[in-house]
């Protein structure tokens, strides 16, 4: 029997999920053609904000690669939208004139961004953010423009605004309502959200209506209805979406707000269906992914002759993808028509919960700060569970006391992934049947977690509960097993909540181990030092042993002591003192190190205070995650090939940036000519003197994996070298993950992005000024580099912590 010809108009998330579901049910029933407007295969539109916020790449958002279409014998047409559907002849025509016949046709055309019909809306730098192309354009504009206005304080607008801030822009959100996300949050939660976003630097103008966008050739600002103006050179419209129905309407299909469908997603034409954001069911259109996937499953059942009760509408939920702002909203959130509410607010941690119920059944929920119970409340809403047996308010439980329902207590029909409608039993069965051991594997097999990703913590708990000790892969998505929070989330919360100690971070951010572990203790101490260079008191007990002792432990348990020699330069007095100390303590080995310094090796730990006291020298920090050394050659002062005074420049660099903490060790090299005797090409910051100035290389790392530095630029003066080095170090300090070298850091951020930041004069100045503030703060902490009697005593009074 010949296959029916199925043509899908649209290549987005809802349509592709429908096709996936069809293939799972009957992969031989249809000859499938998919026609898309964009040049990409199916991608996760939800994650566009993560691209803008520099958390993901475009490639990482692709859900179905080109190979997937080929493997499933699907004809994919990209970058060629459908312009006509002839219902009588059952043919679709694309913009390029290609014609495809069909037996069945599915509209999955999605929606388009709504652009306010106001003067100036057609200026070049006015964007309705919706696609990868829009996202790339925003990133491109952010490289040369600095001030943005986002019109709309809903979910999309706030995620866009945060992304533009992460791109380095000054952002103001203009919103018509009294509080943010008024459709999903009550006033209290909206105010909390605004406060947290303001702490991150976002600006707001609420109860404001945009009258016009100003500018002749391009955007210069916006004018509000009250007569005020706001300067801007980029305007993003985030005031909602509209179903794309033009082609359907032209074909004579019934259209309202969207393409009208029945419970089986069938339009007024029996051979044509609609699914996703373009579809209108019982007067409602949906813009969230969960209902769209539910529609896709119903349509797949119907088209493959499976039993189905049809689509009955959806209960929706919302969460926000902005670091430091955890919120969850679902259902009906207004007290009216018999709907009552119960709320709690912990002002110490800014945790807010409000549960809406009617006739003893939960109908809505708003959570802010602590959203752990979001899935539980959502499941209770879907089941219409009576709440008579539940405690209404609970305060001051002890740590470890069970509150709510644990993974072990959840029934198999509890929804874990709301976006994809995946229940606990589906995940548990897949773990057993497929031998799954990681979150990534569960996502690949069940699709749980492949949309917004908020449920991955629950998936991890199910894996841990199901497998016990066998669950080791992807156990923690955070910086360590104590937390699921990433580096970016922790730093954002430190700033937003004004946390000043590691203990407060672990308590306020609900670390599983409130004492921390060897991995997170030094990391938190570094992040706090970086965020609050003057206000945070360095926590010596959180540093690694080498940093506490100002000496490097060797394999036999003894230590090496390495005094500072800037640029590898010493003098007779220092050499004599080193010799006297070596002789006095019978030091087994005195050696010139690989960093052009002299080290004393084989010193017992109990001797260290006296050795440092007798030396009377500053430590070279040959053990810490900070500026390690600056290797230099003699330069043109002595070498016949030298072009610059490299020894002096090396000493200036070391003196300028010594003792400043960085995510990992930071090494520099200054060579006087392209022969590069000090191997500047494998240094974090490498300088090579040439006739017209200095070539600058960044991201070179030695070690087990050698990375060659990449050429950044060539500058003329030593001052430019120093300022570039400071800007690089500070950008690395502010965006690097603790214990991440500069080579993988640059690979993660992208060399072109790092280059654009460092060579932008204003960004370079800002970064250099901030690292000079960090240097001032370091100089106020004598223990960190000057080993006098008081500092030595302080170091060795610290109780050893096994880090």
pLDDT at 799: 35
pLDDT at 410: 73
Q: Is-contact 673 643, C-beta < 8 A?
A: yes
Nearest to 150 by CA among 200, 225, 213, 199: 213
pLDDT at 81: 95
Q: What residue has token string 């203009």?
A: 174
pLDDT at 781: 60
**In terms of pLDDT, which residue wins out, 803 or 532?**
532
Q: Structure tokens of 166?
A: 């992460």
pLDDT at 692: 85
Q: Is-contact 74 22, C-beta < 8 A?
A: no
pLDDT at 791: 45
236 falls in which pLDDT band (50, 70, 90)? Answer: very high
Region 747-752: what's the mean pLDDT?
90
pLDDT at 801: 33
User: Are both 4-111+243-303 and 625-784 of the same fold?
Assistant: no
User: What contacts 527, CB < 8 A, 6 or more positions away?
Assistant: 487, 490, 491, 494, 738
CA distance 142 to 158: 16
Q: Is-contact 521 803, C-beta < 8 A?
A: yes
- Tell me how far CA of residue 653 lies from CA of 630, 656, 657, 762, in angstroms: 7, 5, 6, 21
pLDDT at 477: 59
> pLDDT digit string (tens) for 239-285?
888 999 999 999 999 999 999 999 999 999 999 999 999 999 999 99
713 falls in which pLDDT band (50, 70, 90)? Answer: very high
**In terms of pLDDT, which residue wins out, 21 or 289?**
21
pLDDT at 555: 65
Alpha helices in 4-149 (DSSP H): 13-25, 48-52, 58-61, 66-71, 132-142
CA distance 694 to 635: 12
Mean pLDDT of all residues belonging to the chain: 85
pLDDT at 404: 47
> pLDDT digit string (tens) for 676-697?
888 888 899 999 988 889 999 9
User: Does CATH place domain 625-784 in 3.30.70.260?
Assistant: no
126-239 has which fold?
FAD/NAD(P)-binding domain (3.50.50)
Q: Kindly report the pTM of this predicted structure.
A: 0.58
**In terms of pLDDT, which residue wins out, 73 or 327?**
73
> pLDDT digit string (tens) for 306-356?
999 999 988 777 777 666 678 888 888 888 888 888 888 888 778 889 888
CA distance 382 to 399: 30
pLDDT at 475: 43
**In terms of pLDDT, which residue wins out, 5 or 654?**
5
Beta-carbon count within 10 A of 674 CB:
12
4-111+243-303 has which fold?
FAD/NAD(P)-binding domain (3.50.50)
pLDDT at 392: 57
> Following DSSP, what letter does each residue of 452-511 receive, concatenated?
S-TTHHHHHHHHHHHHGGG--TT--SSSBTTBS--HHHHHHHHHHHT--SHHHHHHHTT-
pLDDT at 468: 63
pLDDT at 402: 42
Region 692-719: what's the mean pLDDT?
89
pLDDT at 678: 80
**In terms of pLDDT, which residue wins out, 721 or 593?**
721
pLDDT at 760: 94
Mean pLDDT is highest, among 1-10, 309-318, 599-608, 774-783, for: 1-10
Percent of the chain with pLDDT over 90: 41
Q: Please report, for the chain, the start and end positions of each structural domain, with discontinuous segments joined by +.
A: 4-111+243-303, 126-239, 487-542, 543-621+789-803, 625-784
The DSSP symbol for 273 reads E
543-621+789-803 has which fold?
Sulfite Reductase Hemoprotein; domain 2 (3.90.480)
Region 115-119: what's the mean pLDDT?
92
CA distance 53 to 468: 35
Burial code (b: 16+ CB inside 10 Å, e: under 16) for 627-646 equals bbbbbbbebbeeeeebbbbb
CA distance 424 to 460: 12
> pLDDT digit string (tens) for 751-800?
998 999 999 999 999 999 999 998 888 776 644 444 444 444 444 443 33
CA dihedral (246, 134, 71, 22) positive or negative = negative
């Amino acid at each position: 029997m010949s296959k029916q010809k199925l043509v899908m108009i649209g290549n987005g998330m809802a349509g592709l999920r429908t096709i996936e579901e069809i293939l799972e049910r009957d992969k031989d029933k249809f000859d499938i053609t998919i026609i898309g407007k964009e040049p990409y295969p199916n991608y996760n539109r939800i994650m566009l904000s993560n691209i803008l916020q520099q958390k993901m790449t475009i490639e990482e958002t692709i859900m179905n690669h080109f190979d997937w279409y080929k493997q499933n014998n699907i004809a994919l047409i990209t970058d060629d939208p459908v312009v006509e559907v002839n219902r009588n002849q059952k043919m679709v025509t694309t913009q390029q004139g290609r014609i495809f016949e069909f037996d069945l046709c599915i509209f999955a055309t999605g929606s388009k961004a709504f652009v306010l019909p106001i003067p100036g809306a057609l200026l070049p730098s006015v964007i309705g953010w919706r696609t990868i192309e829009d996202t790339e354009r925003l990133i491109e504009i952010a490289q040369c423009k600095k001030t943005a206005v986002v019109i709309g304080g809903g979910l999309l607008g706030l995620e866009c605004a945060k992304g533009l801030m992460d791109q380095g822009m000054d952002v103001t959100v203009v919103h018509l309502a009294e509080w943010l996300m008024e459709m999903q949050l009550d006033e209290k939660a909206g105010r909390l959200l605004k406060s947290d976003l303001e702490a991150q630097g976002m600006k707001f103008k609420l109860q404001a209506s945009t009258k016009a966008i100003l500018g002749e050739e391009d955007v210069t600002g916006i004018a509000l209805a009250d007569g005020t103006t706001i300067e801007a050179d980029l305007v993003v419209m985030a005031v909602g979406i509209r179903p794309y129905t033009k082609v359907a309407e032209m074909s004579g299909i019934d259209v309202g707000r969207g393409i009208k469908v029945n419970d089986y997603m069938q339009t007024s034409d029996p051979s044509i269906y609609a699914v996703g954001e373009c579809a209108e069911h019982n007067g409602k259109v949906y813009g969230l992914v969960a209902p769209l996937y539910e529609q896709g499953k119903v349509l797949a059942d119907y088209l493959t002759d499976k039993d189905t009760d049809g689509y009955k509408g959806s209960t929706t939920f919302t969460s926000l993808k902005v670091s430091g702002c955890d919120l969850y909203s679902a259902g009906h959130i207004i007290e009216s028509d018999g709907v009552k509410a119960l709320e709690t607010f912990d002002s110490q941690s800014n945790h807010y919960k409000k549960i809406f119920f009617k006739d003893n059944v939960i109908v809505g929920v708003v959570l802010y700060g602590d959203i752990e119970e979001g899935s539980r409340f959502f499941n209770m809403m879907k089941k219409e569970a009576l709440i008579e047996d539940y405690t209404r308010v609970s305060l001051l439980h002890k740590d470890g006391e069970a509150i709510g329902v644990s993974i072990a207590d959840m029934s198999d029909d509890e929804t874990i992934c709301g976006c994809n409608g995946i229940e606990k039993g589906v995940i548990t069965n897949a773990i057993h049947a497929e031998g799954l051991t990681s979150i990534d594997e569960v996502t690949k097999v069940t699709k749980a977690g492949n949309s917004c990703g908020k449920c991955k913590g629950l998936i991890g708990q199910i894996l841990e509960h199901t497998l016990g000790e066998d669950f080791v892969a992807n156990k923690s998505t955070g910086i360590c097993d104590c937390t699921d929070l990433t580096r970016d989330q922790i730093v954002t919360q430190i700033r937003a909540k004004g946390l000043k100690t590691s203990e407060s971070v672990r308590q306020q951010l609900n670390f599983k181990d409130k004492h921390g572990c060897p991995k997170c203790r030094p990391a938190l101490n570094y992040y706090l030092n970086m965020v609050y260079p003057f206000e945070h008191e360095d926590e010596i007990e959180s540093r690694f042993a080498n940093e506490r002792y100002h000496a490097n432990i060797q394999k036999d348990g003894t230590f090496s002591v390495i005094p500072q020699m800037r640029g590898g330069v010493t003098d007779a007095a220092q050499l004599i003192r080193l010799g006297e100390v070596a002789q006095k303590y019978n030091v087994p080995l005195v050696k010139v190190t690989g960093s052009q310094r002299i080290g004393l090796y084989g010193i017992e730990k109990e001797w260290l205070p006296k050795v440092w006291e007798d030396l009377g020298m500053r430590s070279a920090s040959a053990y810490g995650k900070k500026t390690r050394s600056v290797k230099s050659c003699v330069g043109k002062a002595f070498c016949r090939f030298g072009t610059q005074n490299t020894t002096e420049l090396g000493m200036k660099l070391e003196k300028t940036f010594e003792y400043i903490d960085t995510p990992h060790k930071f090494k520099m090299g200054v060579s006087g000519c392209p022969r590069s005797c000090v191997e500047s090409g494998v240094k974090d910051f490498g300088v090579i003197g040439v006739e017209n100035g200095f070539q600058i290389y960044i991201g070179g790392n030695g070690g087990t994996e050698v990375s060659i530095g990449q050429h950044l630029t060539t500058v003329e003066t030593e001052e430019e070298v120093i300022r570039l080095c400071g800007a690089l170090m500070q950008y690395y300090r502010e965006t690097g993950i603790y214990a991440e070298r500069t080579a993988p850091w640059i690979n993660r951020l992208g060399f072109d992005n790092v280059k654009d930041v460092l060579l932008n004069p204003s960004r370079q100045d800002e970064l250099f000024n901030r690292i000079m503030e960090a240097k001032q703060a370091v100089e106020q902490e004598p223990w960190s580099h000057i080993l006098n009697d008081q500092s030595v005593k302080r170091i060795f009074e610290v109780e050893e912590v096994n880090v």
